[in-house]
Amino acid sequence: MDLTMLGLRTGVRGLAAAQEALDVVGQNITNANTEGYSRQAVNLVNTPAFRYPGANTPIGTGAIGSGVEVANIQRQRDVFLDNKINTETATLGQNEILRDGINQIQDQFGEPSANGLASVMTNYFSAWDQLSTNPESSAARSQVQQAGVALSQSFNSLYQGLTQIRTETDNKIQNAVTDANTFTSQIAGLNGLISQAEGLGLKANDLMDQRNLALQKLNKIVNVQSQIASDGKMLVSLQGRQLVGPAGAQALGTQPGSPTSTNTLESNLTDVTFNGQVMQPNAMGGQLGAYFQLRDQVIGRSDFNTLTTPAPAGLSAYGSAFPPPFGAPGTAAWNTPNGMLYKLDQLANSLSSQVNALHSAGSNLYGALNVPALRNFFTNPPTANLVSTTFVGAQYMSLNTGLVGTGAVALIAAGNGAGSGPGDNRKAQMIAAIRDVQTPIDPTLPPPASAPPVTTVSDYYRNFLSDLGVKGQTADRVAKNQTALIDHLNQQQQSVSGVNLDQEMTDMVKYQHAYNASAKVISMYDQLLDTIINMGGGH
């Protein structure tokens, strides 16, 4: 006995399956260019067979198929690749930011060029040389004044430029924290929706794509660890602290830097906090880690001239005892003062103190020593309230105000000492020769200060600048490598989860035909039924 109704039912199932498959094809096609989208595939299964008794057997010939149905819609994704991409993205983000930041710092120095600090220093020494060939000349003397002003202003503007970049970087830390919080709360929100759907036995494919994308973007900002819990929720942690937990996201915070020093400049910089605790900047990774690196290590701090008197406790043993969070005593000091600011300060101070020592002992055009207040060539401005008045660093270094102006040209001390004639040029010669003097420029560099290497001022400058160049070059190289690597990984992921339009078109044609064919089956049964129904009719 034939079951006509079973055939109809099979046809209807075919129609429904083809329609659902076409829906998925449509979804795939429209999302072909959506960031983070994973291709979805329809898994069709045949529905349970219907036992069908046969003519020759009491039990039946076996089973007859009852049609088709969509078992599930599967997300095509390689999770291992996702994890790899996330990790590499953090490294990429970090090195891109480092590279850009170092470029910005290098542009500040503007080397190599005719206007960089190297040339200004050379010009300064040349001015003294020029004065030594004609010490009686006011023109040569005022040239020394001008060169002195130019040199100190170069130092001032470099210092200012660097602190400005540091402030900008600090602002970026705050922005990065805001962005990171956006992503963690997004992940937490998606967690809720996904676990809800999974609880109902549904596959939340599209939500998982979005969550994955959010995690990747979060990883670019800061290097987090993630895992999927048994209930389908994604848990995200940073330095062992759960940013996204089962209950939801907890935001990172920012607060002004540690108030353990009276250093006004430093205390305005930002710390990142979680639950009231300060996070270690050296374990951040990603863009946030790079901002910290730029702020605290590349640019760094140099407290010689920025502190107000009296010096805060702990800073007297300079370089060894910095207040937490930046490297507690005994640990690798994160914020060891050997960044650009520190080096610039050391350079300025070494140069000023060498010039000052000679200039103080020299005689002016009248053959006399200057009055004590005018003996130093470079000084800090009298208004600055500094820890050390003898340390003439890059920030405040300036030509002694008493030596400024045309009236003061005669006070430039070119002569050897009291009683020298106006033609005596020995101190001028010696000051010009400072360029060749090997001296320990970094006397306080930790640890230990036993034998700081000697170097000339221009070598010192040249070398710390090329050190910076090497850092920039490394960051650039790593960023390029990471880009290539991530491109490659993305290609692999694309190969799994990307949408191939040809394939979708083929599927579309396939399911369209399946739909048509199923319709044909139904219409065939329609005719069969029609035949049966009209059989009893009056012929």
Partner 1 sequence: MRVTNKMLYDNAFGAASDQLDKISNLQNKLATGKAIQRPSDDPTAVNQSMLLQTTISEQAQYSKNIDQSVTWLDATDSALNDANTVLQRARTLAVEGASDTQSASSRQSIAKEIRLLKEQLRGIANSQVTGRYLFAGSQTLVQPYPAFNMPNGGPVYNTAMSPLNAGNLDDQSSLGVQVGPGTTLTYNTTGVSVFDKTIDLGPPPAPTNVFQTLENLATSLDNNQTSAISGAITQIDQRIDKVSLARADIGGTRNRATLLQDRYKTSQVSLKGLLSQYQDVDMPQLVSDLTQSQQVYQASLAASAKIIQPTLMDFLH
CB burial of residue 218 (10 Å; 0-12, 13-18, 19+): buried
CA Rg value for the chain: 38
Closest to partner 1 by CB, 49 or 139: 139
Best CA proximity match to 81, nearest among 480, 483, 485: 485
d(CA 202, CA 86): 26
d(CA 390, CA 199): 72
Least CB distance from residue 70 to partner 1, whole Å? 23
Whether the Cβ atoms of residue 455 and residue 462 lie closer than 8 Å to each other:
no
Strands (E), 8-141: 40-46, 50-52, 62-64, 68-75
Least CB distance from residue 254 to partner 1, whole Å? 30
Closest to partner 1 by CB, 173 or 457: 457
Least CB distance from residue 469 to partner 1, whole Å? 3
Closest to partner 1 by CB, 132 or 181: 132
CB-side neighbour CA atoms (13 Å) of 174: 12
d(CA 66, CA 478): 59
Whether the Cβ atoms of residue 397 and residue 356 lie closer than 8 Å to each other:
no
Least CB distance from residue 429 to partner 1, whole Å? 5
Query: What are the angstrom distances between the C-alpha of 4 and each of 15, 66, 343, 532, 534?
Result: 17, 12, 92, 10, 15
Closest to partner 1 by CB, 33 or 230: 33
Least CB distance from residue 537 to partner 1, whole Å? 43
Binding site for partner 1 (CB under 8 A): 32-33, 99, 102-103, 106-107, 109, 111-112, 118-119, 122-123, 125-126, 129-130, 132-134, 136, 366-368, 415-416, 418-426, 429, 432-433, 435-436, 458-459, 462-463, 465-473, 476, 487, 490-491, 494-496, 498-502, 505-506, 509
d(CA 333, CA 324): 10
Least CB distance from residue 425 to partner 1, whole Å? 6
Kindly state the tokens that stand for 366.
């009248």
Closest to partner 1 by CB, 170 or 424: 424
Least CB distance from residue 468 to partner 1, whole Å? 6
Closest to partner 1 by CB, 128 or 334: 128
Least CB distance from residue 302 to partner 1, whole Å? 21
Closest to partner 1 by CB, 217 or 435: 435
Closest to partner 1 by CB, 249 or 374: 374
Closest to partner 1 by CB, 308 or 490: 490
Best CA proximity match to 119, nearest among 524, 341, 435: 435
Whether the Cβ atoms of residue 215 and residue 86 lie closer than 8 Å to each other:
yes
Least CB distance from residue 111 to partner 1, whole Å? 6
Closest to partner 1 by CB, 102 or 187: 102
Best CA proximity match to 143, nearest among 158, 161, 125: 125
Least CB distance from residue 118 to partner 1, whole Å? 5
Amino acid identity, residue 179? D
Q: Which long-range contacts (CB under 8 A, 24 or more apart) does 476-483 make?
A: 476/95, 476/99, 478/91, 478/95, 479/92, 479/95, 479/96, 479/98, 479/99, 482/88, 482/91, 482/92, 482/95, 483/92
